[in-house]
Amino acid sequence: METPDDSSLAERHRGRMQRKKAVIDARIDAADRDCGLILVATGNGKGKSSSGFGMVARALGHGMKVGIVQFIKGAVPTGEEQFFRRFPDEVRFHVMGEGYTWNTQDRDRDIEKAQAAWAVACQMLRDRSLGLVLLDELNIALKHRYLDVHRVVGDLLARPEMQHVVVTGRAAPPELLAVAHTVTDMGLIKHAFSQGIRAQPGIEL
Amino acid sequence: METPDDSSLAERHRGRMQRKKAVIDARIDAADRDCGLILVATGNGKGKSSSGFGMVARALGHGMKVGIVQFIKGAVPTGEEQFFRRFPDEVRFHVMGEGYTWNTQDRDRDIEKAQAAWAVACQMLRDRSLGLVLLDELNIALKHRYLDVHRVVGDLLARPEMQHVVVTGRAAPPELLAVAHTVTDMGLIKHAFSQGIRAQPGIEL
């Protein structure tokens, strides 16, 4: 049996949810356009690349084909690469190779590799058969000026109208944020690494 | 041929990268423990559930088995569900059903559904064969007090030592943050929705 407290709580909840539903319904009615999105995941917290790979899974679930270029990463074989390479007809997966710049310490070679990876990305950004292109850690290549941000933005804007593109990595440049539809700043509240726990397979790699 | 400017830029870059490498190497040496992590993705920005599904893909790439419970969501068939249901031997996928609470407006029924979903989650949290459990939008059920946060935290802490668990949703409660190893606050910088663009398959659903 409901006590008076329970029933007034339920009543308040119902009122709050009705108001919330009205606001959300109005917003849903107002949002009626479709277009290919530019999404950016940046910030110092965990989840930038993971969120990109989650969108890859979603896109595949809707029958889309997907292109992935991983910038900077590549020294260590990752779970995402192992997994998405299972679907060669649906996913084109390109890894730049040779790992993070702080392991190579050779600016000219890094620039060369980043530009070669960008050439692969450009092929994907011109391919109408791809519904989603993930440019993982591209922001790192932009931050170090391995790639010219104006050229990158120009190539992104020239892609097919309905193609989505997800860009990840810390320190996204303002020129990219300006043209993005959706931007998330992934703030670091805490990280297992600072507690002496090393990168765990399935989580960080 | 390198101009003096180029060569001094390359030199400065090398010095900066060497210092960065030293700092990172020291941190990597200090982080030497392995354990099952509790990760929380919260905040108002896009990417919380996506990052959870990205970690699912990573875990599958490492040969782990994964359990997924989606709280609150369920009215609309999603890309992630369509995709991960392709792998019934590797992924146990449970959707609570009946959609967001602001569409149901019935607190008692919501509580019942959330508790039934938590019972499924508990089975996964006791199953040593699962390397990762994703509790998608659990924070919403906690925020509305459909589930008792102390009971939830107790069940999380009682899971197998090496099992990772990812909890997503806005407004993660402090009791959960306290026991989490990694917490990301996904801040909303901008969202396509506010620009009149509706939820896009492969991106938001």
3 state SS for A179-198? HCCEEEEEEEEECHHHHCEC
- Distance, first Cα to last Cα, chain B: 51
* Residue from the list A41, A84, A190 with its beta carbon closest to the beta carbon of B47: A41
* Residue from the list B33, B45, B131 with its beta carbon closest to the beta carbon of A198: B33
Q: Do A198 and B28 touch (CB under 8 A)?
A: yes
Predicted ipTM?
A: 0.87
Q: Do A46 and B39 touch (CB under 8 A)?
A: yes
Task: Give the pLDDT band of residue B75 (cuts 50, 70, 90).
Answer: low
pLDDT of amino acid B20: 79
What distances in angstroms separate CA A183 from CA A178, B27, B40, B84, B100, one per listed residue?
Answer: 10, 29, 19, 26, 24
Does B140 contact chain A (CB < 8 Å)? no
CA B194 to chain CA mean position, Å: 24
Does A120 contact chain B (CB < 8 Å)? no
Domains of chain A by residue range: 1-32, 34-195
pLDDT of amino acid A11: 81
Q: Do B196 and A54 touch (CB under 8 A)?
A: no
Residues of A in contact with B189 (CB under 8 A): 177, 183-185
pLDDT of amino acid A189: 96
Q: Are strands B164-168 and A130-136 parallel, antiparallel or unpaired?
A: unpaired
Mean pLDDT of chain B: 90
Whose tokens are 């892609």? That residue is: A159
In angstroms, rounded to a whole number, what is the distance separating the alpha carbons of residues B204 and A56? 11
Does B56 contact chain A (CB < 8 Å)? yes
**Local structure of B12: helix, strand or coil:** helix
CATH class name, domain B34-195 = alpha beta
Question: Mind giving me the DSSP string for B136-165?
Answer: ETHHHHHHTTSS-HHHHHHHHHTS-TT-EE
Residues of B in contact with A84 (CB under 8 A): 57, 61
Q: What is the DSSP letter of B195?
A: G
Q: How far is A49 from chain B (nearest CA, A)?
A: 8
* Residue from the list B46, B82, B131 with its beta carbon closest to the beta carbon of A61: B82
Does A146 contact chain B (CB < 8 Å)? no
Closest Cα partner for A197 from B51, B54, B36? Answer: B36
Mean pLDDT of B91-120: 82
Going A114 to A127 to A32 to A25, the CA torsion angle's sign is: negative
Q: Do B184 and A186 touch (CB under 8 A)?
A: yes
Going A154 to A159 to A162 to A164, the CA torsion angle's sign is: negative
pLDDT of amino acid B8: 80
What is the Cα gyration radius of chain A? Answer: 21
* Residue from the list B81, B164, B182 with its beta carbon closest to the beta carbon of A190: B182
The low-confidence residues of chain A, meaning pLDDT below 70, are 1-6, 73-75, 97-105
Q: Is pLDDT larger for residue B16 or for residue B98?
A: B16
**Are the CB atoms for A141 and A114 separated by under 8 Å?**
yes
**Are the CB atoms for B41 and B168 separated by under 8 Å?**
yes
Q: Do A57 and B61 touch (CB under 8 A)?
A: no
Minimal Cα distance from B197: which residue of A? A33
Q: How far is B159 from chain A (nearest CA, A)?
A: 17
Does B74 contact chain A (CB < 8 Å)? no
Closest Cα partner for A37 from B122, B129, B173, B47? Answer: B47
Dump pLDDT digits (tens) for A55-73: 999 999 999 999 999 997 6
Task: Give the pLDDT band of residue B102 (cuts 50, 70, 90).
Answer: low
E strand intervals along chain A: 38-42, 65-70, 91-95, 130-136, 164-168, 182-190
pLDDT of amino acid A192: 93
